A and B are shown apart, each in its own frame.
Chain A
Amino acid sequence: MKTVSIAGLVLISWVFLSLIAPWLPLHPERMALPAILEGPHSHAWLGNDDLGRPVLDRLLVGARTSCWVAGGVVSLSLLFGTLLGSSAAYLGGYWDRVLVMLLDIFMAFPGILLAIALAGLLGPGIGNLVIALSLVGWVGFARLARAQVLSMKQREHVLAAQALGTRRRRIIQRHLLPLIAAPLVVEATFAVAAVVVAESGLSFLGLGVQPPEASWGSMIRDGVRYLLVAPHLVLAPGIALFLVVLSVNLLGDRLRDRLDVRGGRS
């Protein structure tokens, strides 16, 4: 119980800080030349980076980046994946076969590899990053929604709705989606963790957000060069990233147990 509360606290602070970041007196680009690579001190609680910029301010800007990207990508993937997966499963026949073929092809790529290639080809920037990660992310949701609808569409209440002449769209929205929501919510929770790691990973490779914007991933990349003299440059964003991902995963585990997805974990 206690660990979950801590995880919740971490996540609430993450989202809250990202929301209020624009109104905080942050100076992520202010260079203090005498303070280059300096460790934590009273002016900059987490020290300064190789250009003398305050690490704490950049960390908060990076929190906003990861939070926005995660929110955007997970919403888009959830929306399109669920829509495509549940419609194909409900309609069956030709549409379902086309979707399955498409899913098979997309799943033949290691996810992060496809994201790296897409982000690299589309060019840097936060918008392209969201597009690249969503193009990878919808697959999992579509697969899950399809499997769930397939297992539900012969239920009596769905047949009853069909017999009453309810429109297909309404059956999917009212009679199927609420039933398959629990596993999708669990999947979405884990997707948040995956997207936060992927965003930082792409930014680490230089394919994500571009300077002067900050991302935890690009902070780690820039810090690696000074690992020996200023380890705080790698430790600070890494710990932030690790805490957020760990908390999301913890919460996802708890949610899965609570919602009893996949027949209860042994």
Chain B
Amino acid sequence: MPAYLLARLFSAVWVTFGVVSLVFFMIHWVPGDPVDVMLGESGAAADREALRHALGLDQSLWLQWGQFLRGVPVGDLGQSLYFQEGVSTLLAQRFGATAELAAAAFVIALVIAVPTGIIAAARRGSAWDTGAMGFSLLGVSIPNFWLGPLLVLVFSLGLGWFPVSGRGAPLSLVLPAITLGTALAAVLSRMIRSSLLEVMSEDFIRTARAKGLSPYQVWVRHGLRNAWLPVLTVLGMQLGALLGGAVITETVFNWPGVGSLLVESIQRRDYPVVQGGVLMISLCYVVINLATDLLYARIDPRIRLGQL
């Protein structure tokens, strides 16, 4: 296996270990005692000790850390303090909804951003360009917890086209996905535009024009195919923002995903679930980034051969 891929895989494993550890220590260092949550502050001392022992909290922090590290690979993330159920079971129940929302938002972002970015670059300086970049600036600046209620106000309460919240019929996916996808669409269209403009000033484009290729061939076969590469690298990182944004969007729309479970668990001080939820979303992000990097190496031989 080429050195680049090995290095990339190794770094992903290391980062995963770091993420798991950081989340563990974050939860264990901050104030707040799970025993207080379960028994209330007035519980009898003996009961508290018994519970502390049952939860393994009387062991040293290092021992607990080791146990947690051993548990993660086999999907053992501890027990919820509130539901009396395994954290991984709870997360598994909610994961589908989050994946569905994120995927829909991603598709919406692509459908908006790709044509917008291309038109803006092709008609640089025109009203199309100004309009597209204006839209992009608006999209980046509008917070999803405000865009969500606005869309509900107009399209659910006003026009009655979509349900206000919750997950049910396919229509219920539309507004949350638009809310979540808008920021990504805005960032992506701007990136596509600038990357395409950069590529179109390259020598090989001049050559392609000089040898008499049609504009379609120049733009799509020579321009777009090269413009995609830088967009792809940043896309992996932008998907992280999408996953983070999903936490807020899910709360806005009462969407039963990992994000809304996370926020509910913070309010209930259900630490193991918070820990598991943060871990799950972050690990998804690590995997996505690894996948984009590997894909990038596959598409662009220069990366594979270590020439870039």
Contact = CB atoms under 8 A, between A and B. Distances in A.
Interface of A: 101, 104-106, 108-114, 116-118, 120-123, 193, 197, 200-201, 204-207, 217, 220-221, 223-224, 227-228, 231, 234, 238, 241-242, 245-246, 249-250, 253, 265-266
B146 A112 contact: no
Contacts of B32: 121, 123
A135 B277 CA distance: 19
A201 B22 contact: no
Contacts of B289: 108
A109 B19 contact: yes
Q: Is the interface of A mostly helix, strand, loop or mixed?
A: helix
Interface residues of B, number: 51
12 contacts: A113-B244, A113-B247, A116-B266, A121-B26, A121-B30, A121-B271, A121-B274, A123-B32, A205-B248, A246-B137, A249-B137, A249-B140
Contacts of B244: 110-113, 116
B150 A105 contact: no
Q: Is the interface of B mostly helix, strand, loop or mixed?
A: helix
Closest 10 CB pairs of A and B: A110-B244, A120-B266, A105-B18, A112-B244, A238-B146, A266-B197, A121-B30, A246-B141, A110-B240, A113-B244
In the complex, which of the residues B137, B145, B198 has the most CB atoms of chain A within 10 Å of its own CB atom? B145
Contact of A224 (B11, B149, B262): B149
Interface stretch (B74-82, B169-177, B217-225, B278-286): B278-286
B31 A123 contact: yes
B281 A104 contact: no
B248 A227 contact: no
A234 B149 contact: yes
B137 A227 contact: no
Nearest to A239: B146
Given A121-B30, A200-B145, A110 B137 contact: no
Given A122-B30, A227-B157, A105 B15 contact: yes
B145 A201 contact: yes
A105 B286 CA distance: 10
B262 A116 contact: yes
Given A200-B143, A241-B143, A266-B194, A108 B281 contact: no
Given A242-B146, A253-B137, 17 more contacts: A104-B18, A106-B22, A108-B282, A108-B289, A111-B240, A112-B241, A112-B245, A112-B247, A116-B262, A117-B26, A121-B26, A121-B30, A122-B31, A204-B251, A220-B145, A234-B150, A238-B150
Nearest to B289: A108
Nearest to A231: B153
Contacts of A114: 278
B143 A116 contact: no
A234 B153 contact: yes
Interface string B113-149: 0000000000000000000000001101111011001
